[in-house]
Amino acid sequence: MKFASRLDNVETSAIRELFKLLGKPGIISFAGGFPDSAMFDVEGLREASQKALAEEPGGALQYGATEGYEPLRTQLAAFERSKGVTDIEPQNLIVTTGSQQALDLLGKTMISPGDKVIVEGPTFLATIQCFRLYGADLVSAPIDANGVQVDKLEQLIAEHRPKFVYLIPTFGNPSGALLSLERRKKILELAVKYQVLVVEDDPYGDLYFGEAPPPSMLALSKDVPGSREWIAHCGSMSKVLSPGLRVGWLIAQPELLAKSTMCKQFSDAHTSTFAQATAAQYLKSGRMPATLDNVRKKYAERADAMAQALTRELGDAIEFTAPKGGLFFWARLTGAGGKVKDASEFAKRAIEQGVAFVPGAPFYANNPDNSSFRLSFATADVGKIIEGSKRLGAAI
Amino acid sequence: MKFASRLDNVETSAIRELFKLLGKPGIISFAGGFPDSAMFDVEGLREASQKALAEEPGGALQYGATEGYEPLRTQLAAFERSKGVTDIEPQNLIVTTGSQQALDLLGKTMISPGDKVIVEGPTFLATIQCFRLYGADLVSAPIDANGVQVDKLEQLIAEHRPKFVYLIPTFGNPSGALLSLERRKKILELAVKYQVLVVEDDPYGDLYFGEAPPPSMLALSKDVPGSREWIAHCGSMSKVLSPGLRVGWLIAQPELLAKSTMCKQFSDAHTSTFAQATAAQYLKSGRMPATLDNVRKKYAERADAMAQALTRELGDAIEFTAPKGGLFFWARLTGAGGKVKDASEFAKRAIEQGVAFVPGAPFYANNPDNSSFRLSFATADVGKIIEGSKRLGAAI
């Protein structure tokens, strides 16, 4: 059987490598990108789903509008307003089947084969593959703990004139980095200057540990004249409420939103109305603030425990910046004292010691840093984080 | 903003035309492609969703495997076995976000820009647009009341060497046609002879009114040596259980299934596990046979009422074959007695009389028959079907 030529652009081996690491029983896993199931507000979601079926069974079970279930769009617009996006209305967003689908729709709508797209180096693995399936030629912009380096980004935009720039500005995956307020504003100015779309993927922004991060680039766009036209924002219920609902959303200017809606119509017609109605009832119930408080508090404890344990167990053999939110530590092997410097080798030794994580190289679209690796503190409790870090110490 | 070139292959005006017809209040609608919400087994789905959350909240709310939720794959394999697909196992299918996503994944996996794909003329509107977004050059094979005309199909396969052939063999949308047993077997032989993939889209096969239709081409493939390799089958819970769950499935040979799974990973990661766990519990509950009996009986009454009323009110001004299942009548204006022969004109007059349906032309990828039109009997009760048909009589 002869498959489509677009499949030639994607290699799945990197991903299979990651998943292979997760199988062993008894292992402590820092490998996943999942939130902790134990934190899901099951009772709240049970009530919400019952209410959805009781109050509007037709709406929850019938075909729905491709743009999304209207009561959910209303709730999501209010949710965004509560986070500083003061000028948003329900018609400015569409509901997507997780924010992964928002990425897929942006790829389908925007990328012609051979088009350049700038991403962060490193960036979300599934984004790399998703855009490459549409024929994108990816260019990596370097980052530091304050997010993408704006001078380098401008050079790359000027040189490559990309179809768009894809960023995870707030607690990036895998980087954990937080783009500074100053850089956010500067990038919005670049969007206007070069008339280039900036995609802000924001699944982690609600998961901050101390003070709130700077407002989203979407929220800030009101301060940079002309920039709202050039920003697309992807939101998600997956990290704070439940990934299993597959409820995300895309905010963009009207023409891009209309084209994305058309593409969605032929991708899956619409997102599960049952899941949408459940999410709408949940948001309406008023339980979200307490749920957010709970997950922020628990993840903060785990992140703190991991920062201390890594420093204690691994010392100068690794370097990292403790994240201020999200689910991930991003670290580099320094090779200090002749210790292992290749993250794939380190991952193999770690598995032997009973702890898993993912090497960083696959997260780069170009020029991988083979000494980098990602640790998730989301699904292991504090005890396991301490024990897992000890095993990392033994492995190094 | 410059969009991807693939969008140039799709015109949305035809679809918008269809939707515009549906807005007027007080109108009797034969226009939709929806099942009747009043027939949904809300209580059964309520119980199923509660059970899903009570028995395995983690599984129902967490990220899941791209291939699908294992208990649902098990139930779906059993469902297919009950319909004569004797040799199927859970690993031979993946769960999709409605069968629309199965079509999208087949397009993404198989179609390179410029590839030929054969469809029925007429065929499902969203299929035409879905495949064109991947650059397909569609070729229409003519149909009659017994489905696609096999001699013509073979000529077209030999001439165009298509990437695949897409058929809705059982109670087609919009045609209502039922592909005969003899033709099914012959097409499986053609698949082997020309080594061409045949996609069997089967959302309506469970909705028969009298005796069961011939087995699916998937079920029949065991009788035609070598054909199983060349058949992909799309199933759906949307027409009998609930479209709002967005639960469909794709059955195909291992390599095609693996490539489709990879494409799905970057499309939406997985189908809502909450919806999947609910569907799995529903199938496990044993309520499905009674649900099927109920919808078959009610749709049969409505189809019968429509056949009688159309004959009574429109006489020789139209011709049609009453369907033996599904949701649709497909009819042609004959122009007898100088009456209207253009279905778009007829649709406009019908709206003025307070009844809506969709003209047939947009359902053709090539060479539209402008005298054809589609009537759905699914969502109007018998009284409305009689009144709506009277209004059609007045409009003609």
Query: pLDDT for A326-353, tens place per residue?
Result: 999 999 999 999 999 999 999 999 999 9
Do residue B267 and residue A126 have CB atoms under 8 angstroms apart? no
Do residue B62 and residue A34 have CB atoms under 8 angstroms apart? yes
Q: Average pLDDT over chain A, rounded to whole?
A: 95
Mean pLDDT of B370-374: 97
Residue A372, pLDDT > 80, answer yes
Q: How far is A236 from chain B (nearest CA, A)?
A: 12
pLDDT given at position A366: 95
Q: What is the residue-wise DSSP string for A270-302?
A: SS-HHHHHHHHHHHHHT-HHHHHHHHHHHHHHH
Query: Contact at 8 Å (CB) between A153 and A131?
Result: no
Do residue B242 and residue A272 have CB atoms under 8 angstroms apart? no
Question: In this prediction, what percent of chain B has a pLDDT beyond 90?
Answer: 94
Q: Which of A1, A34, A125 to mutate to test the interface with B (most CBs of B within 10 A)?
A: A1
Do residue B112 and residue A271 have CB atoms under 8 angstroms apart? no
Mean pLDDT of A230-238: 97
Mean pLDDT of B57-72: 95
Q: Average pLDDT over chain B, rounded to whole?
A: 95
Say what the alpha-carbon torsion angle B377, B382, B388, B392 is, to the nearest 10 degrees.
Answer: 70
Tokens of B366: 């090539």
Helix (H, G, I), strand (E, B) or coil at A193: helix
Residue of B nearest to A242 (CA): B61
CA–CA dist A342, A165 (Å, integer): 30
A322: pLDDT confidence band, cut at 50, 70 and 90? Answer: very high
Query: Contact at 8 Å (CB) between A308 and A334?
Result: no
The span from the first CA to the last CA of chain A, in angstroms, equals 46
Residue A163, pLDDT > 60, answer yes
Cβ atoms < 10 Å from Cβ of A50: 16
Q: Which residue among B61, B112, B266 sits closest to A133, beta carbon to beta carbon?
A: B266
pLDDT given at position B16: 57
Tokens of B217: 């081409």
Q: How far is B46 from chain A (nearest CA, A)?
A: 7
Q: Which residue among A4, A53, A271 sits closest to B46, beta carbon to beta carbon?
A: A53
Mean pLDDT of B82-101: 97
A33: pLDDT confidence band, cut at 50, 70 and 90? Answer: confident
Give chain B positions within 8 Å (CB) of A259.
3, 7
Return the biggest CA–CA distance within chain B.
Answer: 66
Mean pLDDT of A77-100: 97
Residue of A nearest to B3 (CA): A110
- Give A276-303 pLDDT, tens digit per residue: 999 999 999 999 999 999 999 999 999 9
pLDDT given at position B386: 98
pLDDT given at position B10: 87
H or E, element range at B20: helix B13-20
B180: pLDDT confidence band, cut at 50, 70 and 90? Answer: very high
Q: How many CB pairs under 8 A join A and B?
A: 216
Give chain B positions within 8 Å (CB) of A42.
53, 57, 61
pLDDT given at position B33: 86
CA–CA dist B122, A71 (Å, integer): 36
- Give B20-32 pLDDT, tens digit per residue: 555 667 899 999 8
Q: How far is A134 from chain B (nearest CA, A)?
A: 9
Q: Which residue among B40, B57, B272 sits closest to A40, beta carbon to beta carbon?
A: B57
Q: Which residue among A58, A109, A245 sits closest to B272, beta carbon to beta carbon?
A: A245
pLDDT given at position A9: 86
pLDDT given at position A190: 98
pLDDT given at position B63: 94
Query: Contact at 8 Å (CB) between B203 and A63?
Result: no
pLDDT given at position B14: 57
Residue B388, pLDDT > 60, answer yes
- Range scoring the smallest mean pLDDT among A17-21, A224-228, B109-113: A17-21
Helix (H, G, I), strand (E, B) or coil at A386: helix
Q: How far is A334 from chain B (nearest CA, A)?
A: 33
Residue of B nearest to A45 (CA): B53
CA angle A381, A243, B56 (to 5 degrees): 70
Mean pLDDT of A369-375: 97
Do residue B3 and residue A259 have CB atoms under 8 angstroms apart? yes
Give chain A positions within 8 Å (CB) of B267.
100-101, 104, 130, 267
B11: pLDDT confidence band, cut at 50, 70 and 90? Answer: confident
Q: How far is B215 from chain A (nearest CA, A)?
A: 25
Tokens 């007059």 found at: B349
Do residue A129 and residue B265 have CB atoms under 8 angstroms apart? yes
Question: In this prediction, what percent of chain B has a pLDDT beyond 70?
Answer: 97
A8: pLDDT confidence band, cut at 50, 70 and 90? Answer: very high
**Orientation angle between helical segments A254-265 and B125-133, nearest 10 degrees:** 120
Q: How far is B123 from chain A (nearest CA, A)?
A: 15
Query: Where do the domains of chain B lie, and which CATH numbers do they carry?
Result: 5-41+290-395 (3.90.1150.10), 44-287 (3.40.640.10)
**Orientation angle between helical segments A181-194 and A150-160, nearest 10 degrees:** 10
Three-state SS annotation for B292-328 = HHHHHHHHHHHHHHHHHHHHHHHHHHEEECCCCECCE
Residue B17, pLDDT > 60, answer no
pLDDT given at position B26: 87
Contacting residues for A329 by C-beta, under 8 A, at least 6 apart:
A176, A303, A306, A307, A310, A320, A322, A323, A374, A375, A376, A377
- Give B282-321 pLDDT, tens digit per residue: 999 999 999 999 999 999 999 999 999 999 999 999 999 9
- Give B205-237 pLDDT, tens digit per residue: 999 999 999 999 999 999 999 999 999 999 999
pLDDT given at position B23: 61
Q: How far from A235 is each of A251, A295, B35, CA to CA, in Å?
A: 8, 17, 32
